[in-house]
Every structure is written in structure tokens, then in C-alpha cells.
Amino acid sequence: MEINSNHSWAEPFKIKMVELLNMTTPAQRKKKIKEAGYNTFLLRSRDVYIDLLTDSGTNAMSDRQWAGLMLGDEAYAGSENFYHLESAVRECYGYKYVVPTHQGRGAENLLSKILIKPGDIIPGNMYFTTTRLHQELAGGIFHDIIIDEAHDSQNPHPFKGNVDLNKVEALIKKFGPEKIPYLCIATTVNMAGGQPISLKNLKDLRKLTQKYGIKIILDMTRVAENAWFIKQREPGYKNKNIAQIVKEICNLTDGATMSAKKDALVNIGGFLALNDKKLYEESSNLCVVYEGLHTYGGLAGRDMEAIAIGIRESLSDDHMDARIGQVLYLGNKLRKANVPIVRPVGGHGVFIDARKFLSHLKQTQFPAQTLAAEIYEDSGVRTMERGIVSAGRDAETGEHHYPKLELVRITIPRRVYTQAHMDVVAESIENVYRNRRKFKGLKMIYEPRYLRFFQARFKKL
């Protein structure tokens, strides 16, 4: 299965306000990326032309969301906007309780602190950076349970976010169910290239874990995008809408962490959603320590209003057709130019296989980091590394983790760029591909202790 969108799509919106972009010269970019230590996270945004660093918090809000900001009820306690958010979570996702947090990792912190005891095992369908770190900080040990196909960038499996049930069973046998407080299951797995999990797999997983009394906590950051793939690819879902599929996914889990900066079409915010009253009470109590009172969780009232509206907008089928249609459009162009990309193309971006692209470099020469820097130098397009730098070091041995996937992520913000921007991006990457033999890799000269990919600095070899 390849890119399988055979109908045209167009944006289900028109543009009311524009943000002007800065153009730069090749000489300026060469200087700026050097000053940034060849880390695209350390560039100033004014030096970036098309910013595809992340789809996180970079969404364009609708006129309704902007209007919602004016309805901000900035009361310290019991803000009206909290109740709007709570209703949206209950109606759209089906969870009973919601604790707002400043963003997704705030929810991960609360969840990890309430559910994980030192020495616990937390299986997940591939790791996510902040998620795994919070699990580890709470004393837990992450274990990857994603299917092997997910680690192969060319395997065309339609649901590369699926869990290998044998891996789960092996962990339960080895450690015992009492050591596994929950499974952390991500929708459209970010680190695998935005790959979805199927409803069948989630149902099978639910059956298996219920047998042992193990919870499933969803990382629901991109649940609507996952639902779109289920509608496209999974037998029996063609005639359901995104909203129905999303609800079905959530119903198979006990709770969720959410970064509203992705699917929910806002610039900041997140929440923890739970069905169990006791766990909710514990987490709303911890919220007071780390985020703020449980009816604002580090957010302004107006932010909660924008999230409540964004959640509903994110479940529109037209929105999702255009959202993922744009990602597939870029993926298709790159594939036609023979640029090695992760297949099938995922939901929130196109991922370049930097190992194949820069096959003359060793992984310790940071091929993905190198490629992201070269793309910026070529055209001012900002992408990011998802490979050995992002994977960090083993907490015990201090050695690099050596992930199989060494990727550059071209992430597309929602409702922000046009198809013409995507053409420019594709042309630039094709140009870098033609010149690929010239690039010699990087050396890390500064390495921060936590989540090093954000702040590490490099120099050219």
C-alpha cells in the first residue's frame, strides 16, 4: 500500500490574515546555521523561510478559535472555559475526567508520578522523547512493543504503529503483570514516521491486557489523524466518520495524555484524561503542585476555550482530508524524485531516511542532523533530526542509543502553508539529494544532559 489518496482535496478554509515571511540569501543561511551549531532548534525563526520543524503548537487557529479567546474567563478557580473543555473531552473522546496541563509533557509527568513505581515496566509502541523521560524519572523502564515492521523504513505495512502482542505477552511472563501498571499506546506513532495503529490491533490488545488487569493509556496527541488512516485502510470503517472512529479508539483505553498543540489546532495546551475517579483525584491534586489549580492547569482560560473549539474542528472529515492530503502531496513528490522516504507516508509529516540519503556516512557522523542542516542551508526550509541525537543515551551504560531509524522529519503545521510552499520544499530537497556526496557529517561539540537534540551543538567534519 502506498500513497492512496486518489481524490483531489483543497483546503476547507480561506485565508483572512497573512503573516509575512523573511527571505534570506545562501550566504546568510550558511552563517546562521553555523552559529546555531548545525542544530535547527537553535535557529531564530526570523531566519527561517518555511518552518517545518514541528507540527507542535504551530497550527493556524480558525476565526472561531480567535473569537473564543475573547471569551476567556480568567478566574483563578472554576473558569467557564474549563467546563467547555471538559464537555469537549467528554463528548468527543468519551473520557469522564480531564485535568488541563500546560502541554502534553505536563500530563505525562502527572500520569507517570501517579501510576509508576520504581522498577516498573512500561511497554509502549515505540518511545516518544518526553514520554519515556517522564517514565524514567518516575523510576520506570520503557520497553518497545511495536511490530518489527515499524523499524524498517521501507516496509509498506499499512499499520506500522501496531503492537506485537507476542512482545507484550513475553514482558508479562518475564516480569509479571503486577510490574506493568499500564501500556502506553500512541496513535500515529511519531518516531516511526507518523504511522497509525489499527482498531483491530487495539481491540486484541485490550482483550489481552484486560485478562491481566493491565491498563491502556493512550498518547492521543494525533488520534484524529490515526482515525483518518483507519477510515482509509481498515476494512469496515470506510463509511464511518472521523469523530466516530476517534470515539471508538478512546473507548478501548482507560485514559490518555494529550498534547493539544497537535491535533487540537492550538498553539499551547494539553490535558490528562481519565475514567477512574480515584486516579483523577490523585492527578488533580498533583496538578496543583506542578501545573496550577485543576481547573486551569497552567493555561489561561482563553487557551482552554481555543482547545475546546479546536478539538471539535479537528474531527471534521474535510479538515482531515486536507490535512493529510497535503502531507501525502509532498511525500508523493519526493518519492517520484527517488528521494528515500519512510513508507507509507505518515500523518503529520514526511520522514526522509537519512541512512539511505547519506549512505556514505556512519551513524556516529549524525547523518540526519547533517541533512537537516544542509536542507536549511539550501533553501531556508527548517526540518529536524529524528535519529541518534534524538534517541539519546542509555540511562545505565551511558552509550548512545543506536536507533534503526535515522530520519529527518519534515513536519507540516496544520492549516499554515499552501501547496506552492510544498513545491518549494520538494525542489530544495531534490537539490540537496543531487549534491549528497559532498556532505561529510558532523561532530557533537556540546551535549546537554536531558533531551539533547533540543540544545546539542555540532561542527562540520
Ligand X SMILES: *Cc1c(COP(=O)(O)O)cnc(C)c1O
Residues contributing to the site for ligand X (CB under 6 A): 56, 103-105, 128, 130-131, 186, 190, 219, 221, 259, 261-262, 270
Based on the residue annotation, tell me whether 95 is a catalytic residue of this protein.
Answer: no
Nearer to ligand X, 99 or 339 (CB): 99
Based on the residue annotation, tell me whether 219 is a catalytic residue of this protein.
Answer: yes
Q: Minimum distance between the CB of residue 258 and ligand X, rounded to whole angstroms?
A: 8
**Cis check: omega of the bond before 344, within 30 degrees of 0:** yes
Select which of 49, 93, 95, 453 is catalytic: 453
Nearer to ligand X, 190 or 332 (CB): 190
Select which of 219, 254, 263, 353 is catalytic: 219
| AA letter at 67 | A
127, 142 contact by CB (below 8 A): yes
Based on the residue annotation, tell me whether 76 is a catalytic residue of this protein.
Answer: yes
Nearer to ligand X, 62 or 259 (CB): 259
Q: Minimum distance between the CB of residue 192 and ligand X, rounded to whole angstroms?
A: 11
Q: Minimum distance between the CB of residue 218 and ligand X, rounded to whole angstroms?
A: 10
Select which of 44, 63, 64, 76 is catalytic: 76
Q: Minimum distance between the CB of residue 12 and ligand X, rounded to whole angstroms?
A: 24
DSSP letter assigned to residue 410: E
Nearer to ligand X, 219 or 234 (CB): 219
Q: What are 188's three cell numbers?
A: 500515529
Q: Which residues contact 292 (CB under 8 A, 6 or more apart)?
A: 298, 299
Region of residue 396 (phi > 0: left; psi between -120 and 50: alpha; otherwise: beta): alpha
Nearer to ligand X, 259 or 383 (CB): 259
Q: Minimum distance between the CB of residue 124 and ligand X, rounded to whole angstroms?
A: 10
Nearer to ligand X, 160 or 262 (CB): 262
DSSP letter assigned to residue 47: G
Q: Minimum distance between the CB of residue 217 and ligand X, rounded to whole angstroms?
A: 12
Residue with the closest Cβ to ligand X? 104
124, 346 contact by CB (below 8 A): no
Nearer to ligand X, 29 or 143 (CB): 143
Q: How far is CA 335 from CA 57, 154, 340, 351, in A?
A: 28, 12, 7, 11
Minimal CA–CA distance to 196: which of 237, 139, 140, 167? 237
* Cα-based angle 53, 57, 59 (whole degrees, multiple of 5): 90
What φ, ψ does residue 433 adopt, rounded to 5°?
A: -60, -40
Strand, coil or helix: 461: coil
Q: What is the spatial distance between Cα 383 and Cα 377, in angstroms, rounded to a whole number?
A: 11
* Cα-based angle 367, 328, 191 (whole degrees, multiple of 5): 45
Select which of 82, 128, 376, 417 is catalytic: 128
Select which of 262, 323, 382, 414 is catalytic: 262
By the 10 Å C-beta count (0-12 exposed, 13-18 middle, 19+ buried), 98 is classed as buried
Nearer to ligand X, 191 or 456 (CB): 191
Select which of 129, 187, 253, 411 is catalytic: 129
Based on the residue annotation, tell me whether 128 is a catalytic residue of this protein.
Answer: yes
Q: What is the spatial distance between Cα 414 and Cα 323, in angstroms, rounded to a whole number?
A: 6
Q: Minimum distance between the CB of residue 186 and ligand X, rounded to whole angstroms?
A: 5
By DSSP bridging, strand 141-144 and strand 270-274 are unpaired
Q: Minimum distance between the CB of residue 261 and ligand X, rounded to whole angstroms?
A: 5
Q: Which residues pair with 393 in a beta bridge?
A: 400
Based on the residue annotation, tell me whether 386 is a catalytic residue of this protein.
Answer: yes
Q: What is the spatial distance between Cα 260 and Cα 65, in angstroms, rounded to a whole number?
A: 13
381, 424 contact by CB (below 8 A): yes
Query: So which residues are the catalytic ones?
Result: 76, 128-129, 219, 262, 386, 453
